């Protein structure tokens, strides 16, 4: 009988947190500094200190507006979206015990996209929401989608095994994707707007979108961090988790809903952005191991920094033209993920 080798990970936990936080800080400053007008780091620090903690500083009004009203909220929003997708991806991969799982596996992204395309196609505007009709409807349809997936999976198999949930999510994702394609085929002048939204962007989204995203991010991420020990147990299988005293059905539902709320909120304010929830958790797991007590927060930090850098590339690579951020994440994520799969294959499939 072959003995299983002990895996030595590249970084200890303290070093991993240090590198992740430094990476996030560097991404925030780089994303805020770069643009048509370059802003030195010390001015960014002075502006942020002035607005956040109220320190006095001699700051040019135009530079202050560029940093505080345009670039910094965009960077914050990109960070929140990246963090949401990464922590949701890490949770789904642990729950489903599937390295290919990500926030889009269960059809949540397609559900949110359907809501957005409906708003754009029919020019829907709810009076008391105004311009926030699009993100609010997208979040609502995302949450409704996960409930439909769970109800359908329960109708097929009352125990709601993970394989059944995955297959149900794929079915819903395919159906909703076809519905989106139908609306795009029928649309006219709105075609460019719909396509641009589906490709993903955080352009022209200021503090109001950050305020919209923040409650969903805080609630969803805190719930997943709270469930980290249960995710550790469930990653070894449902039966073992039950023997350890975990209420599997309840915790499974909580993880799915929390991850779906995070994904739905991210898709609502930015459109479809792929590979963040797939690649980032993989990379962090290689570095520090599968313990969700550290995997989840580190994925969240690294995911935020990754999407900020991706957004920076999207708006500077062929400036002044801006690329969709979803294109950048795919160009980066697909080769990286291919390398991860090749590496796993060479090592015998051990994650």
What is the reported pLDDT for 84?
95
Is residue 217 situated within a structural domain? Answer: yes
Q: Which of 159-163, 223-227, 345-349 has the lowest mean pLDDT?
A: 345-349
- pLDDT for 272-331, tens place per residue? 888 898 889 988 998 998 999 999 999 999 999 999 999 999 988 887 888 888 889 888
In a domain, 15, yes or no: no
Q: According to the per-residue pLDDT averaged within each range, which of 97-101, 249-253, 297-301 is highest?
A: 297-301
Q: Which long-range contacts (CB under 8 A, 24 or more apart) does 202-205 make?
A: 202/74, 202/77, 202/78, 202/81, 202/269, 202/270, 202/311, 202/325, 203/74, 203/315, 203/322, 205/73, 205/74, 205/77, 205/269, 205/270
Contact 235, 244 (CB under 8 A): no
70 near 248, Cβ under 8 Å?
no
**Average of per-residue pLDDT values in the chain:** 85
User: Looking at the domain assignment, is residue 23 inside a domain?
Assistant: no
Task: Please indicate, yes or no, if residue 152 is contained in any of the structural domains.
Answer: yes
Domain count, the chain: 1
pLDDT tens column, 31-70: 999 888 899 999 999 999 988 888 877 778 889 999 999 9
Q: Is residue 93 part of a domain?
A: yes
pLDDT value of residue 19: 96
Please tell me which residue, 155 or 166, carries the higher pLDDT value: 155
**pLDDT at residue 2 above 50?**
no
Instruction: Provide the domain limits for residue 258.
Output: 39-345
Q: Which of 246, 239, 237 is nearest to 96 (CA)?
A: 237
The pLDDT of residue 67 is 93
Give residue for tokens 């006219």: 188
Burial of 185: CB neighbours in 10 Å, binned 0-12, 13-18, 19+: exposed
Q: What is the CATH number of the domain that holds 309?
A: 1.10.3470.10
Q: Tell whether 351 is covered by a domain.
A: no
Q: Is residue 166 in some structural domain?
A: yes
> Would you say residue 132 lies in a domain?
yes
């Amino acid at each position: 009988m072959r003995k299983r080798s002990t895996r030595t990970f590249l970084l200890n936990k303290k070093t991993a947190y240090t590198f992740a936080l430094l990476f996030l800080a560097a991404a925030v400053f780089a994303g805020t500094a770069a643009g048509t007008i370059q802003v030195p780091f010390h001015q960014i620090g002075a502006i942020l200190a002035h607005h956040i903690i109220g320190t006095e500083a001699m700051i040019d009004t135009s530079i202050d507006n560029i940093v505080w009203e345009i670039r910094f909220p965009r960077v914050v929003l990109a960070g929140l979206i990246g963090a949401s997708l990464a922590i949701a991806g890490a949770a789904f991969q642990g729950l489903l015990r599937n390295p290919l799982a990500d926030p889009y596996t269960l059809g949540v992204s397609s559900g949110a996209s359907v809501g957005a395309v409906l708003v754009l196609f029919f020019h829907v505007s709810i009076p008391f929401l105004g311009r926030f009709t699009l993100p609010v409807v997208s979040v609502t349809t995302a949450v409704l989608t996960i409930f439909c997936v769970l109800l359908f999976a329960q109708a097929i198999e009352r125990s709601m095994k993970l394989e059944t949930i995955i297959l149900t999510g794929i079915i819903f994702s395919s159906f909703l994707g076809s519905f989106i394609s139908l609306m795009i085929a029928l649309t006219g002048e709105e075609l460019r707007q719909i396509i641009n939204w589906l490709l993903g962007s955080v352009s022209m989204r200021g503090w109001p979108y950050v305020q919209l995203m923040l409650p969903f991010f805080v609630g969803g991420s805190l719930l997943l961090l709270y469930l980290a020990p249960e995710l550790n147990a469930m990653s070894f299988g449902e039966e073992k988790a039950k023997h350890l005293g975990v209420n599997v059905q309840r915790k499974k539902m909580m993880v799915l809903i929390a991850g779906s709320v995070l994904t739905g909120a991210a898709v609502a304010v930015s459109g479809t952005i792929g590979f963040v929830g797939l690649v980032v958790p993989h990379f962090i797991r290689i570095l520090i191991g599968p313990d969700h007590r550290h995997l989840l927060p580190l994925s969240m930090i690294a995911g935020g920094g990754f999407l900020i850098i991706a957004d920076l590339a999207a708006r500077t690579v062929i400036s002044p033209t801006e690329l969709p951020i979803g294109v950048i994440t795919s160009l980066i994520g697909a080769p990286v993920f291919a390398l991860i799969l090749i590496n796993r294959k060479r090592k015998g499939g051990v994650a």
